Structure 1
Amino acid sequence: MTAMPDRLRLLSANIQAGSSTRAYADYVTRSWAHVLPNGKRLNLDSLAELVRDFDLVGLQESDPGSLRSGFTNQADYLAETARFPYWSHQPNRRVSRIAGSGNALLSKLEPVELLDYALPGRIAGRGVLLARFGEGEQAWHLAVTHLSLGARSRQLQLSFLAELLSDYPRLVLMGDFNCDADAPEMRPLYRQTSLEPPAERIRTFPSWAPRRCLDHVLTGGFEVHDYRAVPAAGSDHLAVAVELSPRRN
């Protein structure tokens, strides 16, 4: 059994399937990037440079292998390039062979257990990837998710997550929540789990002129020593970096 490190460096990043978006106009002028792989390998290499200094990385909008990624599983590529010995991918949405998207976890620590769940919602295609590390008193859980755009679907998804994660005293939930950490639909999560809202409101979207706080790393049973936004190789979301240590009872 591997003991929990005194410090953990975590990163959560919506990588937009390796695309580059630097202005709202790019959603139109670079719409080809949603179906073609051009330029994505360079962005993935930049992402690999970013993530290699972290212990665990949660990814959202990671393509599992389709036309737009050059049929490359992007989580696999990042894990190999940045030298993460453990990785897992949860494909949630696929449009034929043209595009795919999902959550992923890259880890330098060996997980004891990996589970994935589909999240409820008006439109299918959202999920949560759940990893357990350690045993007994050393055990802790890390979940990676990407919630829906609509508030009603997020309510259903957050209620599901609140029940799923309710028994874990030492816990991290990271991802693109598509809402502020203090949005009304987030309240069941804080009532039913050990999770606490972040101490700081970090604006992460759009990456070129951040106005909205959509990406979060929520923790329970940990002390937070650093919490900041960092560019994620051209993605339209900034990534969130955090440094944690286990809270001692």
Structure 2
Amino acid sequence: MLSANIQAGSSTRRYSDYLTRSWSHALPSGSKRSSLDVIAQLAAGHDIVGLQESDPGSLRSGFTNQTRYLAQRAGFHYWTHQPNRSVGGVASSANGLLSRLEPVKTVEHALPGRIKGRGVLLAHFGDDRQGLTVAVAHLSLGAKSRLVQLSFIAEVLKDHPNTVLMGDFNCLADQPEMNVLYRNTGLRPPECAVPTFPSWKPQRAIDHILISGQLRCAGARALPAAFSDHLALAMDIDVPEAALRS
């Protein structure tokens, strides 16, 4: 599996780019399409991909649905997305999912928080009770908002024993607010921290792939997602065949 905050295809290679290249978050540029092509090559080597900050089709992406574009370029037969935030049609953001297997169903939830515009996207594979549930989320910057959001996610996932929760959490796995997730679901802290931010000098492990139940991690690693300010996080997961059986 792969989790990637793709920053809508924008390029950030140093902290000063947040200021000097701020225009790229509102206007289309030729480099975004080539960045998406690089991300598609990375995504193609995985079975399930969770995306954050994927533009669903606004001015800055040249009105391209980036999740659909990546699915087509990487050869995924199934894709879905959850638009969460739109700034006057100039810039939009979504969670996205690419999958080699078609889910039995998908569900979208808006996340609570002081500032609206965050969500969690769920895909269910196999039997509804014992099957595999994959969730993609992008949490807030503030600890208080994250606590409310993680409490909500824990409530949604508590009855799904075989779960993968992936995304940009904007916090370390051992932050106090993460405990509500570990206490109320079967999700486990990662076996090792993999720094993913900032991409040009990764120091903070704030992107996570958490697993529960009979799922087993067979290795995690960080990989460049073109020129995003986050590295992508890849993980090999052993999934029992029964969890995928309808």
TM-score, reference length from structure 1: 0.94
Residue in structure 1 matched with residue 50 of structure 2 by the alignment: 58
Identity of aligned residues (%): 61
Equivalent pair of 1:115/1:130 in contact (CA under 8 Å): yes
Alignment of 1:154-193 (within 5 A): 154-193=146-185
Q: Deviations over 1:185-224 (max 9, x none)?
A: 0001001111001101111110000111110000002111
Match of 1:218 among 190, 197, 210: 210
Gap regions ≥5 residues in structure 2: none
Residue of structure 2 in register with 1:229 after alignment = 222
Q: Is the counterpart of residue 29 in structure 1 residue 28 in structure 2?
A: no
Cα shift readout 1:87-146 (whole Å, capped 9, x = no counterpart): 001000000110000100000101001000000000000000000001267611000000
Letter in 2 for 1:225: A
Provide the rounded CA distance (Å) in 2 between the counterparts of 1:75 and 1:168. 26
Alpha-carbon distance change, 236 to 136 in structure 1, aligned in 2, over 3 angstroms: closer
**Alignment map for 1:53-92 (pairs within 5 Å):** 53-92=45-84
Counterpart CA distance in 2 for 1:208 and 1:184 is 27
| Residue identity opposite 2:64 in structure 1 | T
Report if the CA contact (8 A) 1:223-1:247 is conserved.
no
| Residue aligned with 2:54, SS | coil
Aligned length: 240
- Partner-residue secondary structure (3-state), 1:181: coil
Residue in 2 aligned with 1:244?
237
Instruction: Sort the Cα spacing of 1:247 and 1:83 in 2 relative to 1 into closer, same or farther, 3 A.
Output: closer
Consecutive aligned runs of 4 or more in structure 1 exceeding 4 Å deviation: none
Cα–Cα, structure 1 residues 200 and 69, in superposed 2: closer, same or farther, change >3 Å? same
The structure 1 residue matched to 2:32, chosen from 37, 40, 43, is 40
In the other structure, the counterpart of 1:147 is: 139
Structure 2 Cα separation of the partners of residues 131 and 26 of structure 1: 35
**Could you tell me which amino acid in structure 2 is paired with residue 88 of structure 1?**
T
- Aligned match of 1:18 in 9, 16, 32? 9
AA at the equivalent of 1:125: G
Tell whether the 8 Å contact from 1:66 to 1:97 is kept in structure 2 after alignment. yes
Could you tell me how far 1:246 is from its partner in structure 2? 2.5
Q: Which residue of 2 aligns with 1:131?
A: 123
Pair 1:83–1:212, CA change in 2 (3 A): same
Please show how residues 107-122 of structure 1 align to structure 2 within 5 Å: 107-122=99-114
Aligned partners of 1:20 and 1:236 also within 8 Å = yes
Which amino acid counterpart does residue 168 of structure 1 have in structure 2? H
Whether the 8 Å contact between 1:223 and 1:244 is mirrored in structure 2 is yes
Report the 3-state secondary structure (helix = DSSP H, G, I; strand = E; otherwise coil) of the residue aligned with 2:193.
coil
RMSD (CA atoms) = 1.3
Alpha-carbon distance in structure 1 between the residues aligned to 2:90 and 2:143: 28
